[in-house]
Amino acid sequence: MIIQTTPHCSMPEMEQILQEINKLGYKPARVETQYGSYIVCVGTAEFDIRLLGNLSGVRDIHMVRDQSKLVSRQWKVKSSEISLGPDMVISRNDLTLAMGPCSIENEEQVEDMVAFLKSQGVRLMRGGVFKPRSSPYSFRGLGLEGLKMFYNKCNEAGIFVVTEVMQVSQVAEMYDYVDVFQVGTRNAQNFNLLDELGKVDKPVLLKRGMSSTLDELLASAEYIFSNGNEKIILCERGVRTFERAYRNTLDLNAIPYLKEKSHLPVFSDPSHGIGLRAFVETMSLASLMAGADGLIMEIHRQPERAMSDGQQSLNFDEARRCIRKIRETVKFRKELALLEDL
Amino acid sequence: MIIQTTPHCSMPEMEQILQEINKLGYKPARVETQYGSYIVCVGTAEFDIRLLGNLSGVRDIHMVRDQSKLVSRQWKVKSSEISLGPDMVISRNDLTLAMGPCSIENEEQVEDMVAFLKSQGVRLMRGGVFKPRSSPYSFRGLGLEGLKMFYNKCNEAGIFVVTEVMQVSQVAEMYDYVDVFQVGTRNAQNFNLLDELGKVDKPVLLKRGMSSTLDELLASAEYIFSNGNEKIILCERGVRTFERAYRNTLDLNAIPYLKEKSHLPVFSDPSHGIGLRAFVETMSLASLMAGADGLIMEIHRQPERAMSDGQQSLNFDEARRCIRKIRETVKFRKELALLEDL
Amino acid sequence: MIIQTTPHCSMPEMEQILQEINKLGYKPARVETQYGSYIVCVGTAEFDIRLLGNLSGVRDIHMVRDQSKLVSRQWKVKSSEISLGPDMVISRNDLTLAMGPCSIENEEQVEDMVAFLKSQGVRLMRGGVFKPRSSPYSFRGLGLEGLKMFYNKCNEAGIFVVTEVMQVSQVAEMYDYVDVFQVGTRNAQNFNLLDELGKVDKPVLLKRGMSSTLDELLASAEYIFSNGNEKIILCERGVRTFERAYRNTLDLNAIPYLKEKSHLPVFSDPSHGIGLRAFVETMSLASLMAGADGLIMEIHRQPERAMSDGQQSLNFDEARRCIRKIRETVKFRKELALLEDL
Amino acid sequence: MIIQTTPHCSMPEMEQILQEINKLGYKPARVETQYGSYIVCVGTAEFDIRLLGNLSGVRDIHMVRDQSKLVSRQWKVKSSEISLGPDMVISRNDLTLAMGPCSIENEEQVEDMVAFLKSQGVRLMRGGVFKPRSSPYSFRGLGLEGLKMFYNKCNEAGIFVVTEVMQVSQVAEMYDYVDVFQVGTRNAQNFNLLDELGKVDKPVLLKRGMSSTLDELLASAEYIFSNGNEKIILCERGVRTFERAYRNTLDLNAIPYLKEKSHLPVFSDPSHGIGLRAFVETMSLASLMAGADGLIMEIHRQPERAMSDGQQSLNFDEARRCIRKIRETVKFRKELALLEDL
């Protein structure tokens, strides 16, 4: 159950609401976000909903049977929209493209990429400065200094930055140089990090854990939301399977399922989802027809020289062709949706 | 290595070829199919290819490093086409739709379905008469008598039949009443059955094993081909993963991968691939953008009363809408391909 | 629900029982095995059990909530015993050892193995003559003639034979030359084969499917039992996981679980379960402490020259040492069980 | 390649060594631990090992082909021993038992547990104060204050404490109240946390990630070691599989494999490994025969009232019986090892 409280709910009103909830045998958790005040109540007892609904300070009550409450569509019919700026909104109404290298490597690389993205009308650049690598001896990213350079170059050009955060203390350090925090697959259940990201007012792109179920993904999103941050993007990036022909198995089933189950925008990451450059374009288009609200893709001016993930990065020519097809496909799926209403 | 021999290769010529192959340390396997004569040679020694190429009786030689040889694209650049009749060809040039109920239940059901498919221009009907069920007490299909009825009704209406064969002895029994033999996921590595299907001249729709790798799927196809039957359709139908929200995880990565690796047509089964009626349409369209050459889908006049798989079957209204979108998407992807050439 | 009927239950008595079952809304399935007559009833209605219990011809009634009925321990408290001869019984009271090569290769190999097994007091020899191989070009076994030779050599020496059957028509062909039919992991859900094996009076060693759940394994055993054959041995042989360091992951959790859930004997196959010779001994001892009633293991006089599975076969010296440790461990686990009663 | 340097290796000596390494095309990483100084060199070039071996300051050189170097047995034949106190050493020579509740709940619970463990001669107590829970609304542990109470009670009684650390900042906070830091399955690839734990001088019990390969586990251990902490215990705790009958699938193959591959002690966690109280004892004994150097097990005075994991916790009576059997089995496996030498 979720209780939305009124914006000006007074202390005594709140006390009374909590008292009633406890009396009914429910365990209440208060949540304040950028957009509203909620009490999430966990319990099972049956009762007359008017008992609570008529209390002063209560705006609305929703019965939510889903395990994850605040991210569930059961109480919020309208899909969430996340604004990065006056003219840049992530939502289900349009496609968001986030592109860039796996790792930020140097200034020149960023400049080339920024120029390329501008030429293509892509507004969001991805790029890692803290890299989770299975071996401690691999390149682990340029760190905070790299981020500052990356952010400044983008900012000048009107491009937004999405980059991975790996631990609690980085959240504050990175805050000024990030437009969207990315949580990687290995941190999808790093609950302390999720808690921390719930306390900031910047969007979080939350990738699915390598072997996570979608319920676990939604529970991770619930951590962020219940700590106060409603700006969450879910991202399918492939799961581990027995198949060895490709790095991961992009689970496109997840896209329509998550869109029905949750009100959050849902992205796809075809680069990690298949991990083979030759097939990334195809899987990006398949993602769109599965309903993806955004794509996050790796591109590199010289994939064969990339410091990481070169085997799955498109070069500029490939990216250009792919973007054109993506735009056509987005147009097509809109027409197809209109067709339905005829 | 694959050696194509000439159609009229004489006994002594063949003897000499085999002798040379053995001398080189390769193990030869002779294969006669509907369309050609091959010698598949397994071995690793390096040698001057002209040693064999100049022998009388040899048409062509191809070095194939792939584990599965005859189904590999390394020797056959042109994609395979499978003709069911003068005006019905399964190929990469167009989309093949196979639709129908999970199980054939009775005459009336078949008649309704045939009428529906005709009205929609769908030429291939699926329907099971031998059903693999995990419990021995479940409905296991109408058997051979059901098949005859099913086939006759379809045949009168000019509709082709695809149905599952479960064991060796059924191949001969079913032969006259089947246009395409289907091998189900549980029999994907039933090698005796694959051998037997290699000996008939009807196409085989080979589903991927529930937890098979694509190399295993191709090796299963190689069984059929190396026994003499080139008419093989590969079919992705979802793999088992940890996700419990849907029955299987449709692995659309498999589609572009198999199309590059093999010359065989590649189908997708979105019905089993997600197992939830509400999402089957979406996954059928995503399959198309991933490059599927055909779709096999479960539809039922009354899904809620189906004797099996009702939860993933579309009713006629849903199927009609879905077919319309499929047709639009096929048209779109052709346009998109043209775009590339500009 | 399982109804045991009396041995002399008359036709009219049976009719009346079935009538009552139908009236209660249950679906009855009659089962005649070597040891008894049963009616398996699938349904959910609540009713007074005396309604059926007092009917003439009924010996006993058991409510079985498990999905698989006849193999469930819910109705049969005493564990099943399977006799191969007057002095050779497979049961939970002692350990059964089945050893031998992956493939039967030639007479001399069988003779050496028989001599070795006799010297070690091992009474059951494994060896494949029909080999399921992922590639059609691999060695596929000596076939029926090989089996006859294998069986005759063993029979003379008082050794029993367990070997894999791969398809329905082989059951009759092999019948005279087999003491225990083995169903391999790829055929664990080959339902026609299971049906057929239910109709013979020889034991079946049923291996778990490569990615099967235990419920699926038990359902496969139910196929055999419900067709008339109670002599079933369940066998854990490792499941597919993401781990690439070994061939399979031996799931020893399965041993105590299956022993509690079912009354059938439960074997372990440490050779396939880890697939690495150096660790087979350790995993055989771990299997014993997990409660395995039998072990099936690959040994070969010259593993490095074996035509298949050499990498997981013990040589005679290793096998000798391993058998000694197995015997000690069996003794130890009996003492440990006694300890419990003090 | 690992180069051990002499304890008094001077700056100029070190410079020269590094110079030579770079010249050979290797990438060196310097590592200082509690016990030694190493240079880990990543590269592939062939060269005469004496080129480096004869340099002043070099103690020894080892070619290590394993991906993870410092934790590999390829350079360190003698197994690692980890001392917690003068009379408490974790090693391959004896069995270490760590027992206690899933969560620390209150003082009385800790006192009861301490008394129980003392009576049983168990010297290491487990108990969580920071609990990773999939839902943000579940009980998340008593936190730092709980840890202090837990540690003080244990310390007074001469019992050591092992407890889970979830993020970087907790390492310093918890340091004074922890004898062994535990890294949970969800943090097995939290590389920042691993880095941090490499900087302290207390042992780390590293659990395998839920779907990690053993190479990934060893790479995570390499993170800790290469940051300066050699005191690492590897722990198998079950992997995710398709089996739904139990929480996880305890992968006992991992035990002998890790013991051969690495010089670190290897523990098993049968409680999480099967997740069902009735089978924990059996799986603890199977773990011992697989070669586990230690067991970590959940016990609770009243499992049915536990705040978490009650379904897999043994009560005191069960634990007492289990400990007795564990001790007998440890004795037995020593005898069995002696047998080998006869």
Contact B189/C132, CB-based, under 8 Å?
yes
Residue D109 belongs to a domain: yes
d(CA C249, CA C242): 9
Contact A257/B279, CB-based, under 8 Å?
yes
Q: For the whole model, what pTM was predicted? A: 0.95
Are residues B213 and B119 part of one domain?
A: yes
B47-89: pLDDT as tens digits: 888 889 999 999 999 999 999 999 999 999 899 999 998 889 9
Q: Are strands D180-183 and D204-207 parallel, antiparallel or unpaired?
A: parallel
Instruction: Please report the ipTM that was assigned to this predicted complex.
Output: 0.95
3-class SS of residue D311: helix
Share of chain D above pLDDT 70, in %: 99
Contacts of C166 in chain B (CB under 8 A): 190-192
Q: What single DSSP character describes residue B6?
A: P
Residue B73 belongs to a domain: no
d(CA A111, CA A106): 9
Closest CA relative to residue B109, chosen from B280, B311, B301: B301
Are residues C144 and C113 part of one domain?
A: yes
**What distance in Å separates residue B223's CA from the closest CA in chain C?**
5
d(CA C124, CA C264): 18
Judge whether residue A200 has pLDDT over 60: yes
What is the per-residue pLDDT for D341? 58
Residue D68 belongs to a domain: no
Of the CA atoms within 13 Å of residue B162, those in its CB half-sphere come to: 31
DSSP readout, A114-126? HHHHHHHT--EEE
Chain B residues contacting C, CB < 8 Å? 27, 29, 40, 42, 67-68, 132-137, 166-169, 186-187, 189-193, 195, 210-211, 215-216, 219, 222-223, 226-227, 240
Are residues C294 and C253 part of one domain?
A: yes
Contact C253/D274, CB-based, under 8 Å?
yes
Are residues A58 and A90 part of one domain?
A: no
Are residues A225 and A161 part of one domain?
A: yes
Are residues D134 and D178 part of one domain?
A: yes
Q: Provide the domain limits for residue B42.
A: 2-62
What is the per-residue pLDDT for C99? 98
Residue A69 belongs to a domain: no
What is the per-residue pLDDT for B338? 86
Residue C77 belongs to a domain: no
Q: At what angle do helices C277-289 and D277-290 cross, to 10 degrees?
A: 140
Instruction: Specify the residue for token string 């592109």.
Output: A99
**Sheet of strand B27-32: strand arrangement:** B27-32, B37-42, B2-5, B58-62
Judge whether residue A341 has pLDDT over 70: no
Are residues A91 and A53 part of one domain?
A: no
Are residues D256 and D187 part of one domain?
A: yes
- Please state which of the ranges A84-88, D169-173, D291-295 shows the lowest mean pLDDT: A84-88
d(CA B78, CA A127): 40
Nearest to A251 among B249, B335, B339 (CB): B249
Q: Are strands D124-126 and D96-100 parallel, antiparallel or unpaired?
A: parallel
Q: What single DSSP character describes residue C71?
A: T
Q: What single DSSP character describes residue B86?
A: T
Average pLDDT over residues A242-268: 97
Are residues D15 and D95 part of one domain?
A: no
* Residues near B96 by beta carbon (within 8 Å), at least 6 away in sequence: B90, B124, B265, B267, B293, B294, B295
Are residues A57 and A95 part of one domain?
A: no
| Best of B21, B165, B185, B186 to mutate (most C CBs within 10 Å, chain C) | B186
Judge whether residue C342 has pLDDT over 70: no
Average pLDDT over residues D280-307: 97
Asked if A71 and A33 count as a contact pair (C-beta separation under 8 A), the reply is no
Q: How many domains does chain D have?
A: 2
Residue C92 belongs to a domain: yes
Contacts of A211 in chain C (CB under 8 A): 242
Asked if B129 and C215 count as a contact pair (C-beta separation under 8 A), the reply is no
Domain boundary among B33, B62, B91: B62
Average pLDDT over residues B31-37: 95
Q: What is the mean pLDDT of chain D?
A: 95
C133-183: pLDDT as tens digits: 889 999 899 999 999 999 999 999 999 999 999 999 999 999 999 999 999
What is the per-residue pLDDT for B86? 85
Are residues B118 and B10 part of one domain?
A: no
3-class SS of residue A219: helix
Residue C181 belongs to a domain: yes
Confidence of residue A339 (pLDDT cuts 50, 70, 90): confident
d(CA A308, CA D234): 29
| Beta bridge partner(s), residue D266 | D234
| CATH code, domain with A172 | 3.20.20.70
| CATH code, domain with B18 | 3.30.70
What is the per-residue pLDDT for D183? 98
A279-315: pLDDT as tens digits: 999 999 999 999 999 999 999 999 999 998 889 999 9
Other residues' Cβ atoms within 10 Å of the Cβ of residue D201: 11
Neighbours of chain D (3+ CB pairs under 8 A): A, B, C
Are residues B231 and B128 part of one domain?
A: yes
| Best of D186, D218, D248 to mutate (most A CBs within 10 Å, chain A) | D186
| Beta bridge partner(s), residue A266 | A234
Beta strands in C177-252 (DSSP E): 180-183, 204-207, 232-236
Contact C286/D252, CB-based, under 8 Å?
yes
Confidence of residue D16 (pLDDT cuts 50, 70, 90): very high
| Coarse DSSP helix, strand, coil percentages of chain B, rounded to the nearest 5 percent | 40, 20, 40
Confidence of residue B32 (pLDDT cuts 50, 70, 90): very high
Nearest to C291 among D243, D278, D282 (CB): D282
d(CA C274, CA B259): 34
Residue A116 belongs to a domain: yes
C-alpha torsion C213→C214→C216→C222, nearest 10: 170
Contacts of A240 in chain C (CB under 8 A): 242
Closest CA relative to residue D188, chosen from D218, D205, D208, D163: D208
SS3 for A152-194 is HHHHHCCCEEEEECCCHHHHHHHHHHCCEEEECHHHCCCHHHH
Q: How far is CA A96 from the centre of its chain?
A: 11
| Best of A72, A253, A274, A285 to mutate (most B CBs within 10 Å, chain B) | A253
Judge whether residue A342 has pLDDT over 60: no
Domain boundary among A62, A92, A113: A62
Contacts of C242 in chain A (CB under 8 A): 211, 240, 242
Judge whether residue B342 has pLDDT over 70: no
Contact A240/C242, CB-based, under 8 Å?
yes
Domain boundary among B13, B30, B62: B62
